[in-house]
Structure 1
Amino acid sequence: MRIDLISIFPSYFDVLKLGLFGKAMEKGVVEVNAINLRDFAKGVHRSVDDTPLGGGAGMVMKPEVWASALEKVIGEGDPLILYPSASSPLFTQKKAHQLSKEKWLVICCGRYEGIDERVWEWCKNRGWRVEGFCLGDYILSGGESAACVMLEAVCRLLPGFMGNCQSLEEESYETGILEHNQYTRPFLWRGMEAPKILISGDHGKVDQFRREEGLKKTDAFRPDLIEKLECKDLTKSDAKLLIQLGWNLSGENPKKED
């Protein structure tokens, strides 16, 4: 996958050279190019922002500098253009899977009050694909950190990125619920034991224990995920536990009893 990141702080993305992402870059699984937006700005000061029309606090990034950068980076290509924005659809694991099928991503990292909205209309008028995404109900100072989070979620799904593909299958959200708690050696640590069943050697019971722990964790912290499960797909043990936790399974999806 080719990834072009356009930002006024291109060195921000040096963090991607660390860990598994860095190894994936070395192996050619991903190609990352960090592009300085100021290289496309005009004038002595290479300004990329101006005051908002209609007044208000902060500054808005100029449309022309973004248009120049995108024209140069994309040329006649057909990437998917992405931009972090608090007013865009929420980024999810499902979306990460969709984006992992793309061959080329161009990510526009805004600053200040954001990028002039006309840039995205201009992109669409040229026939380019463009989408905004939001990480959550909070505000960041710029799009760089959001881009790194999104890319971590997307690229770890690429073939060759992860050393152990089973790790992907067992993670939170992949099965529709949160992942079970994790434990390692020693079994007894500072007076606290790990669950005994984990050293029983009975893989079936271990899997069942982990499934139940994941459901309990999801019930406690993300009940909205349980509401998205389909009752017809639940195993007998899943259904029994959810009923014990106060869920009504008489409909298409589980509903929490009042």
Structure 2
Amino acid sequence: MMKLDFLTLFPEMFEGVLHSSILKKAQEKEAVEFRCVNFRDYSTNKHSSVDDYPYGGGAGMVLAPQPIFDAVDDLVSKSENKPRVILLCPQGERFTQRKAEELANEEHLIFICGHYEGYDERIREHIVTDEISIGDYVLTGGELGAMVIADSVVRLIPGVLGNTTSKIEDSFSTGLLEHPHYTRPAEFRGLKVPNVLLSGNHAHIEEWRTKQSFKRTLERRPDLLEDYTLNKKEEKWMQQIKDEMNQEN
């Protein structure tokens, strides 16, 4: 069972997310265990404060090291495995599907969700194994980022998703964006499902889907193709797609 601990000043923020949809089912299947820990409970300050003014002056307050160090030490001491300690931070590595797949192989993850102006640098330097950002923008705290990462990681745990091929075919898992999907009816308001999907020819369907993935990636995220190695068949498809796109323009 994977364990995910969230160190946060606002544990109530996690209630709806952790007890709904796939994350709820993952817990029911005993594939994962979630714990929300208020690191204010570890403060030794008489006012239970967790932040202080920054040395050298400046705007905002900085999270102090003592409550977070003690909280992480406590969780690590109770862990059967050495956990990855993840700091949610705008300066961190940008979160990707590849990172989600990497983290899904771990037994224990600890997320540090900060607030205020930032963290005491000693937290970053001495207890954190990963710094992660979910995008190039700033949120009021790390909670939403931790929820995003948790959702992305937990769905990759074996047995969590009903269809085991879903996670393999997801956008980014193959290095490409996912192909279009259709369902019944075959015609809706005069809009028809592509004939190939109704043909029953699985080889043709698979080829169509792969070509559509290439086309969608080329149109929307051409940067993903920079690190993608095309085989000879795919090179031919890509040229066909480019020719078709040029004709459309």
Give the TM-score normalised by the residue count of structure 1: 0.87
- For residues 191-240 of structure 1, the C-alpha deviation after alignment (integer angstroms, 9 at most, x for no partner) is 22222221111111111111111111100111111111113xx241x211
Q: Indicate whether 1:243 and 2:243 are aligned.
A: no
The equivalent residue for 2:41 is 39
- Equivalent position to 1:121, from 104, 122, 125: 125
SS in 1 for 2:119: coil
Distance in 1 separating the partners of 2:156 and 2:166: 11
Distance in 1 separating the partners of 2:150 and 2:118: 20
State the 1:41 CA deviation.
2.1
The equivalent residue for 1:136 is 135
Q: Which stretch of the first structure deviates more once superposed, 24-33 or 73-82? A: 73-82
State the 1:245 CA deviation.
4.5
- For residues 131-186 of structure 1, the C-alpha deviation after alignment (integer angstroms, 9 at most, x for no partner) is 11111211111111111111111111111111110111211112110000111111
- Equivalent position to 2:91, from 74, 81, 87: 87
Give the TM-score normalised by the residue count of structure 2: 0.90
Distance in 2 separating the partners of 1:27 and 1:168: 18
Q: Indicate whether 1:148 and 2:155 are aligned.
A: no
State the 1:19 CA deviation.
0.7
SS in 2 for 1:168: helix
SS in 2 for 1:141: coil
The equivalent residue for 1:102 is 106
Distance in 1 separating the partners of 2:78 and 2:166: 38
- Moved >4 Å (runs of 4+): none
Distance in 1 separating the partners of 2:200 and 2:126: 60
State the 1:76 CA deviation.
6.1
State the 1:72 CA deviation.
1.9
Cα-Cα RMSD: 1.7
Distance in 2 separating the partners of 1:142 and 1:184: 39
State the 1:30 CA deviation.
0.2
Distance in 2 separating the partners of 1:245 and 1:110: 46
What residue identity is the alignment partner of 1:67? F
- For residues 4-35 of structure 1, the C-alpha deviation after alignment (integer angstroms, 9 at most, x for no partner) is 11100112111111111101111210011111
SS in 1 for 2:60: coil
Gaps of 5+ in 1: 124-128, 248-258
State the 1:246 CA deviation.
4.7
Gaps of 5+ in 2: 244-249
The equivalent residue for 1:5 is 6
What residue identity is the alignment partner of 1:52? P
Whether the 8 Å CA contact 2:87–2:124 is kept in 1: the answer is no
The equivalent residue for 2:194 is 195
Distance in 1 separating the partners of 2:229 and 2:14: 40
